[in-house]
Amino acid sequence: METILSIKDLNKNYGKIQAVKNLSFDIIKGNIYGILGPNGSGKSTTLGIILNVVNRTSGSFSWFNGNISTHKALKKVGAIIERPNFYPYMTARQNLQLICQIKGVSYDKINDTLETVNLFERKDDKFRTYSLGMKQRLAIASALLNDPEILILDEPTNGLDPQGIHEIRQIIKKIAENGTTILLASHLLDEVEKVCTHVIVLQKGEKLYSGRVETMVASNGIIEIKTEENIENTINVLKNYHETASVNVDGDLIIVQLENDISSATLNKYLFENNITISHLVKRKPSLEQQFLDLTNN
Ligand code: ADP
Ligand code: MG
């Protein structure tokens, strides 16, 4: 496992606002990371710090195991954190040629990157004729010209229509399949769920969760129960069960949050052994959305 980026105890204050608080996480090669959080949670600030455009207040980060300077490391990074300025009266290809000159890289990658973002057919059209989605795809192409190890995107689908959103997400996955590590920031839960392998959930600058997306999705779930028996007694029996994390009542439903991934039959057997018969028993996995809301409601 090769570490691309390691962030440790990062803090950023803007006057009294703590935009980033004690943030630590690692980016491992080959994965797609999503920094997920509502607006103002510190996503863009974090990206700005690691790209050396925002000064940190304290803490540290190191690129590629710290073997090279940040300045050199950033030559192996492709990033779009603001809408890049392209020249409206130049074609896509001419705009990319200009960026190659600025970055000091050869034109070799231009055709490949245009293919990657599905703009090869439109390469000789002027930028001003492009739709918003095409402009964003050209921005991604421009970030790929130096053949980066990692591509960093801040809210890559903002402002796009559903078709444009879908296309960008497909392109991000395609780029990752080609071996490029991805770090994106998004306030959209379903974006992270659909695109990313790993997630870092931020709230008010603090990390609430980091790990694989499936692990966040596949928590141990809940079991809903209805019973004709005495509710208080049933709740007590459930609370005494070692597989139970918590017990809540919602109308006539008793909701058991599980400590481990046990089956509804196992819970049924336990209740039966404690002389409780039930009239309804359903196991559910909370959606990522529910878990995100649970996390951010704290
Ligand atoms: P996100 O990208 O998650 O929406 P930001 O990183 O942009 O969040 O912002 C985090 C917090 O820092 C917010 O409270 C925001 O208002 C504040 N902030 C961001 N940039 C600045 C700045 N240049 N000056 C003052 N406050 C800022
Ligand atoms: Mg932002």
Closest ligand relative to 39 C-alpha: 1
Question: Distance between CA 181 and CA 175 in Å, rounded?
Answer: 8
Task: Decide: 113 and 99 in contact? Cβ < 8 Å.
Answer: no
Distance CA(220)–CA(259), nearest Å, equals 7
Residue nearest ligand 1's atom 5 by CA: 42
Is 14's C-beta closer than 6 angstroms to any atom of ligand 1? yes
CB 203 less than 6 A from any atom of ligand 1:
no
Q: Is the minimum distance from the CB of 37 to ligand 1 under 6 angstroms?
A: yes
Which atom of ligand 1 approaches the CA of 12 most closely? 12
User: Is the shortest distance between the CB of 41 and ligand 1 below 6 Å?
Assistant: yes
Confirm or reject: Cβ of 272 under 6 Å from ligand 1.
no
Question: Hey, whose CA ends up nearest to atom 1 of ligand 1?
Answer: 40
Q: Per residue in 120-141, pLDDT tens? A: 999 999 999 999 999 999 999 9
Query: Whose C-alpha lies nearest to ligand 1, atom 16?
Result: 40
pLDDT, position 297: 64
Write the class of the CATH domain 3-217. alpha beta
Q: Are strands 77-80 and 150-154 parallel, antiparallel or unpaired?
A: parallel
Give me ligand 1 centre to Cα 122, in Å: 36
The yes-or-no verdict on residue 296 having pLDDT over 70 is no
Mean pLDDT of 161-174: 96
pLDDT band, residue 206 (cuts 50/70/90): very high
Whether the pLDDT of residue 237 is over 70: the answer is: yes
Tell me what pLDDT residue 83 has: 80
Please tell me the number of the ligand nearest to residue 202's CA.
1
Output the CA 181–ligand 2 centroid distance in Å. 20
> Model confidence over 242-254: pLDDT tens digits?
998 888 887 888 9
Query: What is the distance in A from the centroid of ligand 2 to the CA of 14?
Result: 15
Pocket flag, ligand 1, residue 87 (CB < 6 Å):
no
Distance 183 CA to ligand 2 centre (A): 13
19 lines ligand 1 (CB under 6 A): yes
CATH number of 222-296: 3.30.70
Residue 261: pLDDT band with limits 50, 70, 90? confident
User: Which pLDDT tens digit goes with each residue over 15-31?
Assistant: 999 999 999 999 999 99
Q: CB–CB of 177/134 below 8 Å? A: no
Sorted by sequence, the CB contacts under 8 Å of residue 270 that are 6+ apart come out as: 241, 243
Q: Where in the chain is the domain with CATH 3.40.50.300?
A: 3-217
CA of 44 to the centre of ligand 2 (A): 4
State the pLDDT at residue 217: 55
**Cβ-contact 32, 192 below 8 angstroms:** no
Instruction: Give the pLDDT mean for 283-295.
Output: 68
> What is the C-alpha to C-alpha distance for residues 189 and 202, in angstroms, rounded to an integer?
12
DSSP at 247:
E
Instruction: Extract the tokens encoding 232.
Output: 């208080």
Mean pLDDT along residues 57-79: 93
Please indicate whether residue 55, judged by its CB atom, sits closer than 6 Å to ligand 1: no
pLDDT at 218 over 60: no
The residues of the chain that CATH labels 3.30.70 are 222-296
Q: What's the pLDDT at 181?
A: 98
What pTM did the predictor assign? 0.80
Q: Is the CB of 44 under 6 A from ligand 1?
A: yes
Q: And the tokens for 129? A: 């004729």
